[in-house]
Structure 1
């Protein structure tokens, strides 16, 4: 079965959808203790990127080994209502190319709290695939909503990442695949799909 080029795939149920982020020990421990991010150590004023794809998170963080700032992988179950609010209040990063007037683009960008990027999905070797994975960058009011309303549960999946990586390193691909979170296509309204360029 051919996977559409731009499609959201995720672990989700009727109420929540799972996204991933990688942080240092201080932020991860604080989030796990409090059930959401707390500032400090989390910085509310920075743009934060959430990713529904486990393997794209592994690529971005180097399986949690890239650097000390990304050595803990967190799975965050966020409300579907919040997730869809983010999509509907977003701007596609690549739309910048469509603007000849840079000032106009910066004004729209500043007024839009969510940025969407579609980057090549990855396989177990972290090789880029034809189809894309969504990255959602949230800033300003969206960060406040994410931290204070959307996040329902925080789980540390650093150990899972290490297990999968160790199986990949020993060429045990079927066992590694069996440990991966089961990410299914996430259905969107036509309006939302159009907004974010999904198929």
Structure 2
């Protein structure tokens, strides 16, 4: 999940390259799937070929692989991808991890039924956000689902002044063309640095 800063000093985090974020375990790397995504798996919502964008050390890719699904994760942090591959070997779960910019997923030349995103959408703004949403649409099959956890504007700015806290209106605007927004629900992103976690939105969209 290369997207959240590794500590409550975002100025320093923004200056770091993706690989450097994983030199020590970052707070979003909780060693298990986020409860919101685990709930989706239990409900049978994660299906078909699965892509996790900004996969970090791979917990959600391995969650999908554990369901017997074809699972791929992409990230720009090679250190995280190496850790993800090691986890896959240790757990005996077939999964694929690729170094790929999530704004250019069309380069994969593949299609997916489900896309997962924990903590990536909210790092983009302006043209980058537009490119990211178009990139998602380029690889998601019609009728496929994009599930996203992002920082919510309900989260206080204290400690996170440079992390964009997303409003419902921004989500609606971003997915206004070629998508159906099925739900935007309050959720939590668990982190190791704060037992209360981060206030988030769990968003379900369908590509149309």
TM-score, normalized by the shorter chain, greater than 0.5: no
Which band: TM-score by shorter chain? under 0.3
Q: TM-score, normalised by structure 1?
A: 0.25
Highest RCO, 1 vs 2 (Cα 8 Å, sep ≥ 6): 1
